[in-house]
Amino acid sequence: MNTRSFIGTACAAIAIFSCFSASAQGTGETVTPNFNRAIPNVPGKSLVAVVVDYAPGGASPPHVHAPSAFIYGYVVSGSIESQVNDAPARVYHAGESFYELPGARHRISRNGSKTQPAKLLAVFIVDSDDHTLTTPVKHGE
């Protein structure tokens, strides 16, 4: 990798992680960047991973992701209650996973416990130029 493409990739990573962290304004959640790489054999696509730590009773606001984002969620510890689009809400336990299709609305994303913390690994396959990964939505939108 030449210096110019390395600097470009580094700047894109900083922009993506800054936008994701800045938009994570739920109650009792912490979003930590974990991984960001362009996918070499899929031009224009990147693999981005973040860890979402939920305090007991913690939650993310309803949100949408970048229009190109396909997301794989894996519950590392605890339990996570999730509702995507109009599907029924479901509680996922450590070791279970779910996915979100591009354009999906994540209506509920919260710790399934009021007494124990929970941890979620969220892996995005996203257009490399989609720098805002998560955007909160107002109630009723």
Domains within the chain, CATH numbers bracketed: 3-136 (2.60.120.10)
Is the overall model pTM greater than 0.75, yes or no?
Answer: yes
- Residue 136 vs residue 6, higher pLDDT: 136
Least confident of 16-30, 47-61, 101-115, 127-141: 16-30
Residues 6+ away with beta carbon under 8 Å from 137? 61, 62, 63, 64, 105
Q: Which two tokens stand for residue 15?
A: 């922009």
Q: What's residue 131's pLDDT?
A: 83
Band (19; pLDDT cuts 50, 70, 90): very low
Q: What's residue 140's pLDDT?
A: 57
pLDDT of residue 7 exceeding 80, the answer is no
Q: What is the DSSP string of 106-133?
A: EEEEEES-SSS-EEEEEEEEEETT----
Band (26; pLDDT cuts 50, 70, 90): low
Residues 6+ away with beta carbon under 8 Å from 91? 79, 80, 81, 82, 112
Residue 52: phi, psi to the nearest 5?
-110, 115
pLDDT of residue 65 exceeding 60, the answer is yes
Q: What's residue 8's pLDDT?
A: 43
Residue 10: phi, psi to the nearest 5?
-60, -45
How does pLDDT run across 72-110, given as a tens digit for each residue? 999 999 999 999 999 999 999 999 999 999 999 999 999
Q: Which two tokens stand for residue 8?
A: 């470009």
* Residues 136, 11: Cα–Cα separation, whole Å: 24
